[in-house]
Structure 1
Amino acid sequence: MKNGIKALLLVCCVLFGSVAFGQNLKFGVINSQEIISKMPERDSAEAKLMKLRTELGNQIESLQVEFNQKYQAYAQGREKMADLVRQTKEKELSDLQNRIQEYGQNAEQELSKQQAALLKPIVDKINEAIKAVGKANGFAYIFDTAIPSLAYYDAAQAVDVLPLVVKQLGIKEKPAAATPKK
């Protein structure tokens, strides 16, 4: 009896396995970074990030100029300063240098946070378009080649769905820049 159940299970596995392998699964590939570069919204996001980067950089530069001026004044008059004045100036310089470093770290965090916030709607829109293309065109899987977790794919078997997603998003291709003739 046990052998009969095992045999039945084996036959079921073979039948279901052959049905599963008999399916023509359609796989697609896409490079999400290339899509992001084509999105019109990216230009606006990049401009906002550039503006923020410039503002933060100007502030750091201003703090650095202030530090350099105070350091020069300290270095020129250090020999004539009383110990208490010299120690106070050194502490002031050290505090200012720490503020500059802290501001730089906070500026990097703010830039990263703003970049994530500005790119999120773009990435969400792309993901929705990929899902729509996958469903409409019968893809079982679409792999993003921009993410290095994909170890291998046969380019002859995979379909690059980038043009379909670009079309789904309604992105108009920018004309290629003309190369000057020599």
Structure 2
Amino acid sequence: MEAAFCFWTQFLTRNFKFVKTLFKMFELSITEAGVKTFQTWLGVCLAAVMLVGVNSASAQLKLGYIDSQKILEKYKEAQDAQKQLQDLNKRWEDEAKNMQQELQSKLEELESQALLLSEERKKEKENELQNLNIRLQQFQQDKWGNQGEVFAERAKLMQPVIDKINAVIKKVGSEEKFDYIFDVVNGNILHVSDSQPNLTDKVLEELNKSVATAKPASTTAKPPAATPKPKN
């Protein structure tokens, strides 16, 4: 059984078409599983093999798992990045809200003065409203559209965090000689045996340790030198 498991493990890593076939056997599609990389496909496939009872494989493969959602929630640098993104998004939301209020105010002003304005002046105010509305829509598109600044800022702030997390996962896996480390969030693994090591806390410990060592040592500010008294 162990030899067979090792054979199929090696075969899966080398044969992409067989991975698709295995998905069909379990009535899953790559789209339904939310799997975007071959590494994740392999993780799900291996997890499926684990779940059907090939427990004896642990003698040859060392498997572990992490919870990426918990890591992002507990990792200090991830928290800081999320806070920066929230603050930036809040600032833009306030700007959009102010523009909406200005638009509403000018619209009410035009409606209240419509009978008193000349056609020329009325047209000017209508054009002003139209331009303000266009400016508001453009602002919203620039910030929250498909290619908006919110997404660009999220990538800018979170990518270094993700890179550090991945580096620590690789470090832990290498030092403790794990063959595979699965993510129970992105891999859509529905069950993990208690016998499989949960490396989430270990990864968090390493990450937060690096944050602590990166902080500069606090120094006590020296009082300013006393001004010498003039000689009499």
Check whether TM > 0.5.
yes
Give me the whole-angstrom Cα distance separating, in 2, the residues matched to 1:151 and 1:18. 19
Unpaired runs of at least 5, structure 1: 1-15, 173-182
Greater length-normalized contact order (CA 8 Å, ≥ 6 residues apart)? 1
Are residue 94 (structure 1) and residue 134 (structure 2) matched?
no
TM-aligned CA distance change 1:151 to 1:41, over 3 Å: closer
Give me the whole-angstrom Cα distance separating, in 1, the residues matched to 2:107 and 2:192. 62
TM-aligned CA distance change 1:103 to 1:81, over 3 Å: same
Residue-pair matches, total:
158
Q: Which secondary structure state, in structure 2, belongs to the residue aligned with residue 160 of structure 1?
A: coil
- Cα deviation, 1:36-92, whole Å, max 9, x if unaligned, reads 211111332233223312321221122122212211111011123333333332232
Q: Is the 8 A contact 1:39 1:171 kept in 2?
A: no
Are residue 85 (structure 1) and residue 115 (structure 2) matched?
no
Are residue 37 (structure 1) and residue 76 (structure 2) matched?
no
Aligned to 2:157: 118
1:1-182 paired onto structure 2 within 5 Å = 20=7, 24-108=60-144, 109-147=148-186, 149-171=187-209
Give me the whole-angstrom Cα distance separating, in 2, the residues matched to 1:48 and 1:84. 47
> TM-score, normalised on structure 1?
0.73
Q: Which secondary structure state, in structure 2, belongs to the residue aligned with residue 80 of structure 1?
A: coil
- Per mean C-alpha deviation after superposition, the further-off stretch among 137-146 and 117-126 is 137-146
Give me the whole-angstrom Cα distance separating, in 2, the residues matched to 1:53 and 1:140. 41
> TM-score, normalised on structure 2?
0.59
TM-aligned CA distance change 1:66 to 1:160, over 3 Å: same
Give me the whole-angstrom Cα distance separating, in 1, the residues matched to 2:163 and 2:98. 38
Q: In percent, how many aligned pairs have the same letter?
A: 27
1:34 offset after TM fit, Å? 0.9
Q: Which secondary structure state, in structure 2, belongs to the residue aligned with residue 143 of structure 1?
A: strand
Q: Is the 8 A contact 1:29 1:158 kept in 2?
A: yes
TM-aligned CA distance change 1:126 to 1:158, over 3 Å: same
